[in-house]
Chains A and B, each alone.
Chain A
Amino acid sequence: MANLTTESRPVRYVLTAVALVFLFLFLLLPLIGVFWEALHKGWQLYLTALVEPEAWSAIKLTLISAAIAVPLNLVFGVSAAWAIARFDFRGKSLLTTLIDLPFAVSPVVAGLMFILLFGANTAAGGWLQDHGLQVIFAVPGIVLATVFVTFPFVARELIPLMQSQGADEEQAAIVLGASGWQTFRKVTLPNIKWGLLYGVILTNARAMGEFGAVSVVSGHIRGETNTIPLHVEILYNEYNFVGAFACASLLALLALVTLLVKSLVEWHLHRQQHASTLRTAEARLQAAQP
């Protein structure tokens, strides 16, 4: 009877054990496997696989496309969050749904759409090619596909955060005579910085790791249009497992950093919200009265 609202000790232990075994088999073991496969033939081979010119060019292309996609989607995400969380306008829920659309589409279909738009045999693609710009099977296509699949992350992270914080502080700043830009920089930004950081980190992780959409538009030209994930695929299909897993381990490290940042951000938000949760709870209590 120690605690009424929980199960008996054996039940707890069995359930916990089953859950942990499941997580170990399905999540942890694959992660360990990546590093094991990459390193079990020694550091030397590992490093060789990474500095090999084709791997190196894939790393560079990945960095470039992330460096373009992340800032663009950052600006977009902040703008969208400001418009949606701070103003009431017609069609707001439609806009929110449209922003989420890239999540609902298979990455392969996303790539397909860009081929239909900019492929060599389409009007837009033909025109661009005549003017010296190839989109599909080239770097611009890869960047476009990356921007598409990472489109919603920052906005998705910021909108609920800014909605829950409310506009009171910003309105106070405006009343006190601050300009719009000052208000954003000195009031909004400090309040959303952790959520923003997490949104950016997620965008970056997805940008560097995207496979399906990029695969469709890249054309797989070695040393030219291969990102790290595409390079991993090629090496793996050539049975160069050490090379494939060496490149994969870079991406796995990136994933671990992402998880770490996420934990930090959650911890910060939790601390930040602890005081305000108490206030909200009180307000809700009062609101619950008829």
Chain B
Amino acid sequence: MANPLRSEVIKLYKHLLYLGKDYPKGATYFKERLKCSFMKNKDVTDPEKIKALVKRGDFVIKELEALYYLRKYRTMKHRYYDDKHDK
């Protein structure tokens, strides 16, 4: 089971797990889904396929970061700027 991509997949999992702590629906909700989606592909052995999946994971990381930023930005805008009825 010593796949050379193993460490990369674990790194991705850890990174996503860390990002999930701030997930709006809660860390537990995120964790369950994260585990499910990793387990779904546990039998994939083709290195090309694994690489593609890791790439997809990286994309999800980007999406999550964007989601958190937007959520924060919107809250701040709502709190400090929207009162003036922005155009």
Q: Are A and B physically bound partners?
A: no
Query: Which B residues contact A (CB, under 8 angstroms)?
Result: none
